[in-house]
Amino acid sequence: TLNNCITVILLTFQTNILTELRNWKLSLIQHHKLQMKQEKEKHAAHVKQLCNEMENLKELLHTYEISIARKDEVVITNLTQAVEKGKERVELMRKFTLWRIQHVKASQEEYANRIADKQFRTTLMKKVWAAWRSLSEEKWKDKVARACQLRAEDVCVQLTNDYEAKIAELTANLERTKAEILRLHSERDQYEDTMKKAFMRGVCALNLEAMTMFQGK
């Protein structure tokens, strides 16, 4: 009677509560599945975006490597041509210097021969005057020969100094260009290292985000 009514009411109330709890549980499960699906879609979109960025970076790196290689080839070609031209110029100057020296020697010999002929004719015309004239002319000839020789040596020294300065300048240009090439290679290595670190940071961030999500759940 009364107890039976109370029992029926309690059973009905219990059944309603269990039904409500079951519905609430199902609603939570559906909501959780929806959130998981959304998170998976976000994660897939983020991974796809990172892959696209990585491909773009790879293409940029490849383009940069090609540009550096071409620049290296152009610089080396230009330096090689400059060195070859410098060698040709030095060789021409060396030949010109040898010709100048031979020309000076020939002029000295011709002049000495003319002086000797004149001295011989003077000796034949005036024997008494020839003794003193011979001694005077011999001393003067030695002075002229020494002066010509000193002048030729000065010219050779000056040309040699000019050639050495030019060679030093070309060598300095070559060293500067080598340093520039090394700097470009170093920049490329730093760029590659930066790209690797950026990619690793992106991967670590994804791992941490995934771990946080699973731990929270």
126 Ramachandran zone, left/alpha/beta (phi>0; psi -120 to 50): beta
Q: How buried is residue 19: exposed, middle or buried, by Cβ count under 10 Å (0-12/13-18/19+)?
A: exposed
1 DSSP 8-state letter: -
**Confidence (pLDDT) at 213:** 67
Tell me what the mean pLDDT of segment 190-211 comes to.
75
Is it the case that residue 130 has pLDDT exceeding 60? Answer: no
pTM of the model: 0.28
SS3 call for 217? coil
% pLDDT > 70, the chain: 84
Compute φ and ψ for 57, nearest 5 degrees: -65, -40
| pLDDT tens, position by position, 142-172 | 777 787 788 878 887 888 888 888 888 888 8
Contact between 35 and 159 under an 8 Å Cβ cutoff? The reply is no
**Confidence (pLDDT) at 126:** 67
Q: pLDDT band for position 200 (50/70/90)?
A: confident
Q: pLDDT band for position 137 (50/70/90)?
A: low
Distance (Å, whole) CA 93 – CA 163: 8
Q: pLDDT band for position 207 (50/70/90)?
A: low
Number of H helices, E strands in the chain: 2, 0
Q: How far is CA 83 from the centre of its chain?
A: 19
| pLDDT tens, position by position, 73-129 | 777 787 788 878 878 888 888 888 888 888 888 888 888 778 877 777 766 666 766
| pLDDT tens, position by position, 5-48 | 777 777 888 888 888 888 888 888 888 888 888 888 888 888 88
| Chain mean pLDDT for the chain | 79
% pLDDT > 90, the chain: 0
Contact between 166 and 89 under an 8 Å Cβ cutoff? The reply is yes
**Confidence (pLDDT) at 147:** 78
Distance (Å, whole) CA 187 – CA 185: 5
Tell me what the mean pLDDT of segment 193-201 comes to.
78
